[in-house]
């Protein structure tokens, strides 16, 4: 199968140029001006940008919280992903208590294999850290997993600081990295009790229990743990100006830290919890304030933020109603996997906060590097995997859950006007999205990942 993309502007982190791109047998064969070769399909990308396929570093598909299961599984979640330009999702395979990492990996393959419309890899989220789990880590690398996750919060997942320290040393020495959900568990539990004692039970209490300092303390603590373990650290879903300051201070002390943020932290506002459907915004960390949004955008501009994931973790409004009388019982998370590129373009590129080249860096290249997929993925170059996005910057539209392909009946981005969007997607050398429509579902493949490329070391 040969596909020729003509007349587009090819965007890489190093610059942009008018060029045609020829794809053959799943790889990029040629990038040059005015390619005149036969192809099975010719795509006219005039007035469009051509990017390496986007990588979402943070999704939760088919995740069982114990109380309920996410609305999106791999079938629906990856359809939404690929239509939005995400050619690879990195989902959190989750080792719950009583499971081994091997169990979790087998389970996640069963959830994803043969049902995915984007490529997919797994981070391994661990709820226990002991000799038995450590004995499994080398097998995880052999199975293509070089990134892990630990939580400072959630009763079912929380590990101790000592466990994070030991795991960082152990996994860092093997070429891996651990993403950590940074919040102060004890303080937020105390604040939940305070709010309930005041009779404050609706979603507006959620951000009150988890103010900026709850995150910033967790980030600062992680930075000190990494200083002691001498291993790389990855802060997931960073949401605050104060948290970002802790990352920058740590870097000045020589700590190797990678920072991920998400569109909800530079587009949405804490006041939205007061809306009638405020439960849909209940996620952790919560939505923030204008100063935090400005700081996250500034971090994207100054390359302090490494990449943008979505933390897609969707629930229907019926599921969110589990907490209608008690905000702390609302399942945490929101939908966003389809909307990441258009939100980054609209809120960051079009406003002049970042360049198109930085968009390529934030949505693809740096994730491909840290998560062991570069240079097969993350950059448009000859020989790379043909995962390619044709992005139309002039396609104004209103985001709505009704037109999104995700499976839940709400979107935190409902009603937002985006100025451009993904038009066509080539996945593994095949045209799977054409004019915004998924024309070839289920073409996703498992991405076997190598050790991290630690570009900040």
Contacting residues toward ligand URP, per CB under 6 A: 60, 181, 283-284, 311, 313, 332-333
Alpha-carbon span 452 to 374, nearest angstrom:
9
- Residue with the two structure tokens 């009150």: 208
Residue nearest to ligand URP (CB): 332
**CB 279 to Zn ion: min, Å:** 18
> What SS3 state is found at 11?
strand
To the nearest whole angstrom, how small is the minimum distance from the Cβ of residue 352 to ligand URP? 29
Per CB under 5 A, contacts with Zn ion among 380-439 are: none
CB atoms within 10 A of CB 383: 9
**CA distance linking residue 93 with residue 76, whole number of Å:** 17
Work out how close the CB of 150 gets to Zn ion at its nearest, in angstroms, rounded to a whole number. Answer: 10
Residue 240: other Cβ atoms inside 10 A: 25
Would you say 20 or 91 has its CB closer to Zn ion? 91
From the list 13-21, 130-138, 175-183, 196-204, the region that binds Zn ion by CB under 5 A is 175-183
Residues 275-314 that bind Zn ion (CB under 5 A): 311
Closer CB to ligand URP, 133 or 181, in the complex: 181
Interaction partner, residue 333 (ligand URP, Zn ion, none; CB < 5-8 Å by kind)? ligand URP
Within 10 angstroms of residue 211's Cβ, the number of other Cβ atoms is 19
SS3 call for 343: helix
Task: List the one residue out of 417, 413, 402 whose CA is nearest residue 272.
Answer: 413
Q: Give the bridge partners for 302, in sequence order.
A: none
At its nearest, how many Å lie between Zn ion and the CB of residue 269? 20
> Nearest distance from residue 127's CB to ligand URP, in Å?
13
Count Cα atoms within 13 angstroms, Cβ side, for 68: 19
Nearer to ligand URP, 71 or 425 (CB): 71
Identify which of residues 59 and 229 has a Cβ nearer to ligand URP in the complex: 59
Burial class (CB in 10 A: 0-12, 13-18, 19+), 11: buried
Q: Write down the least CB distance from residue 332 to ligand URP, Å.
A: 3
Q: Which is nearer to Zn ion, 79 or 210 (CB)?
A: 210
- Is 60 or 423 the residue whose CB approaches ligand URP more closely? 60
CA distances for 147 relative to 233, 234, 236, angstroms: 11, 10, 12
For residue 406, the partner it binds in ligand URP, Zn ion, none, with Cβ less than 5 to 8 A by kind, is: none
Q: Does 340 bind Zn ion (CB under 5 A)?
A: no
Angle of the 212-229 helix axis to the 161-172 helix axis, nearest 10: 50
């Amino acid at each position: 199968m040969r596909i020729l993309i003509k007349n587009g502007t090819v965007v890489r982190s190093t610059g942009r140029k008018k060029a045609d791109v020829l794809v053959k047998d799943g790889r990029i064969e040629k990038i040059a001006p005015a390619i005149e070769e036969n192809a099975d399909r010719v795509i006219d990308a005039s007035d469009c940008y051509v990017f390496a396929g986007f990588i979402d570093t943070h999704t939760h598909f088919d995740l069982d919280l114990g109380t309920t299961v996410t609305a999106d599984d791999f079938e629906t979640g990856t359809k939404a992903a690929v239509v939005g330009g995400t050619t690879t999702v990195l989902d959190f395979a989750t080792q719950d208590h009583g499971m081994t990492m091997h169990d979790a990996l087998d389970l996640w393959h069963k959830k994803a294999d043969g049902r995915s419309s984007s490529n997919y890899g797994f981070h391994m989220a661990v709820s226990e850290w002991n000799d038995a789990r450590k004995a499994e880590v080398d097998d995880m690398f052999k199975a293509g997993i070089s990134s892990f996750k630990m939580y400072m919060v959630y009763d079912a997942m929380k590990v101790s600081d000592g466990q994070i320290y030991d795991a960082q040393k152990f996994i860092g020495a093997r070429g891996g990295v651990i993403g950590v959900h940074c919040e102060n568990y004890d303080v937020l539990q105390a604040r939940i009790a305070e709010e309930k004692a005041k009779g404050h039970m609706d979603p507006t209490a959620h951000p009150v229990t988890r103010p900026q300092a709850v995150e910033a303390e967790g980030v600062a603590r992680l930075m000190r743990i990494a200083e002691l373990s001498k291993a790389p650290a990855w802060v997931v879903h960073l949401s605050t100006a104060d948290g970002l300051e802790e990352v920058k201070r740590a870097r000045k002390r020589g700590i190797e830290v990678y920072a991920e943020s998400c569109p909800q932290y530079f587009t949405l506002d804490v006041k939205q919890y007061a809306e009638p459907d405020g439960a849909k915004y209940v996620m952790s960390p919560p939505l923030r304030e204008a100063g935090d949004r400005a700081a996250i955008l500034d971090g994207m501009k100054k390359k302090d933020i490494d990449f943008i994931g979505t933390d897609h973790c969707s629930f229907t409004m019926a599921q969110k109603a589990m907490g209608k009388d008690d905000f702390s019982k609302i399942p945490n998370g929101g939908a966003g996997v389809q909307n990441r590129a258009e939100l980054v373009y609209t809120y960051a590129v079009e406003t002049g906060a970042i360049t198109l080249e930085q968009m390529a860096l934030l949505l693809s290249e740096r994730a491909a590097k840290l998560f062991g997929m570069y240079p097969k993925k993350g950059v448009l170059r000859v020989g790379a995997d043909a995962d390619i996005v044709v992005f139309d910057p002039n396609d104004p539209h209103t985001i709505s859950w009704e037109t999104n392909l995700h499976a839940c009946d709400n979107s935190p981005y409902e009603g937002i006007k985006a100025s451009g969007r993904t038009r066509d997607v080539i996945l593994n050398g095949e045209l799977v999205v054409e004019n915004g429509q998924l024309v070839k579902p289920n073409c996703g493949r498992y991405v076997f990942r190598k050790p991290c490329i630690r570009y900040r070391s």
